[in-house]
Homo-oligomer: A and B are copies of this chain.
């Protein structure tokens, strides 16, 4: 009794999907249900923003992907970059590019098979999801997650598929009426947001949690630190607690898709005057200039 595959719910936003080097219909079934990316989050990924048809800092993302794959001993096929470029060329000019690499289909059990099978590579390009128009004007309100980021996890610092905690924190934040979630690490230090890095301006120095607090080595985070250095804005990667965050004059979150998103409220308390501040605006404008220079966007 084997039925014909049931139609899948339409993928809501993907425009272009490539699986293992071949373009597929976006609404098709693409993967085995036994893919270890699905059964065990056994894989890694990158999300890249596309400006005017150019993927910003694609090679930095691919380098990070390669490092994470090597740490998990997942083979990274040589054609991933070419597939990403092909998919971007077929997608909208303003888009998000997601590259996902899993260990591929496999028997049950968390241990990888002794002899590796072929991995799975998915490249998906989608029109950039619209942000609330007020995001950059009004800023975000964050909820402090009840659970902690584990700065000593096996996979700390790697962008693996294990995002359940980020989703759970955003579900909790939504219940609390907030837009975002901020994680503390297991030693009560600020770590990052659900899927963004965190910056705070204390009036004299731009602070961001070091990777030892469980922060991911964000590509945008790195770009912002370089921009701050180039502009003479003092910056420091050092641990800080929630007390320092709520006492900050300004704060913002960074991610490839949202760029620099002002953070104006934490657990209902306004940061500074509760509005995006001048340092945030200056660095956001500088980041936009950087994007324009590199993507001719």
Interface residues, chain A, with chain B CB atoms under 8 Å away:
1-3, 5-6, 8-14, 17, 19-20, 22-43, 45, 47, 71-73, 90, 96, 98, 100, 102-113, 117-118, 122, 124, 126, 129, 145-150, 152-156, 160-172, 174, 186, 194-195, 257
Cβ of A47 to closest chain B Cβ, rounded Å: 7
Cβ of A74 to closest chain B Cβ, rounded Å: 10
Cβ of A246 to closest chain B Cβ, rounded Å: 21
Q: Which of B30, B124, B168 contacts A5 (CB 8 A)?
A: B30
Q: Besides A31-B35, A41-B163, 17 other CB < 8 A contacts?
A: A2-B25, A6-B20, A8-B105, A9-B105, A9-B118, A11-B32, A12-B107, A13-B108, A26-B34, A30-B33, A38-B100, A40-B164, A40-B166, A42-B163, A73-B171, A148-B186, A162-B163
A17's closest neighbor in chain B, by CB? B33
A194's closest neighbor in chain B, by CB? B110
- Complex formed: what's the CA distance from A142 to B100 in Å? 31
Cβ of A27 to closest chain B Cβ, rounded Å: 7
26 A-B residue pairs with CB within 8 Å:
A1-B90, A5-B30, A9-B104, A9-B105, A12-B117, A17-B34, A28-B29, A30-B33, A31-B38, A36-B167, A37-B38, A38-B122, A40-B163, A40-B167, A41-B164, A72-B168, A108-B124, A111-B171, A111-B194, A112-B167, A147-B154, A147-B156, A148-B152, A150-B153, A152-B186, A154-B168
Asked whether A29 lies within 8 Å of B27 as measured between CB atoms, the reply is no
Q: Which of B98, B110, B148 contacts A167 (CB 8 A)?
A: B110
Residues of B with C-beta under 8 A to A10: 105
